[in-house]
């Protein structure tokens, strides 16, 4: 069975890089361009893991994490933050509202895929 990943990033280039790396690893990938778009696509995507950037327009990654954690449908889905940010304060804030892990961009395909498999709820 293929793992399903919802990848949320406002950068089209980053979404394309994530899609290429994850599909190559056999994952089913849905992409969204910001947190609000991610929430709209959440139920249809039915992800095993969510990957989100933090700095995005409309709804940032923190808002997305809070909404996912409050949803009946996806409250237990692991959320990996993928961001250029690396401050302990931001990591701590993300963890406190429900993020599962934090990966700093640029990502290493093998490490990202390994992290997804490690946290996946299947």
User: 81-104, pLDDT tens digit by residue?
Assistant: 999 999 999 999 999 999 999 999
The CATH number given to whatever domain includes residue 66 is 3.40.50.2300
Q: State yes or no: pLDDT of 122 exceeds 60.
A: no
Cβ–Cβ under 8 Å, residues 80 and 50: yes
**Structure tokens belonging to residue 112:** 């990202």
Q: State yes or no: pLDDT of 73 exceeds 90.
A: no
- Whether the bond between 23 and the residue before it is cis, its omega within 30 degrees of 0, is no
Range of the domain at 31: 4-119
Per-residue CA distances from 35 to 10, 54, 97 (Å): 9, 9, 15
For the entire predicted model, the pTM comes to: 0.96
Number of domains forming the structure of the chain: 1
């Amino acid at each position: 069975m293929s793992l399903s990943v919802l990848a949320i990033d406002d950068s089209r280039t980053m979404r394309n890089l994530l899609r290429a790396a994850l599909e190559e690893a056999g994952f089913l990938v849905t992409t969204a361009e910001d947190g609000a778009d991610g929430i709209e696509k959440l139920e249809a995507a039915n992800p095993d893991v969510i990957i989100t950037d933090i700095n995005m327009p409309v709804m940032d990654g923190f808002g997305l994490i809070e909404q996912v954690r409050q949803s009946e449908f996806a409250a237990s889905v692991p959320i990996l933050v993928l961001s250029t940010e690396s401050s302990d304060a931001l990591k701590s804030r993300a963890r406190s509202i429900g993020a599962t892990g934090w990966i700093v961009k640029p990502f290493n395909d093998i490490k990202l895929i390994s992290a997804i498999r490690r946290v996946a709820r299947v």
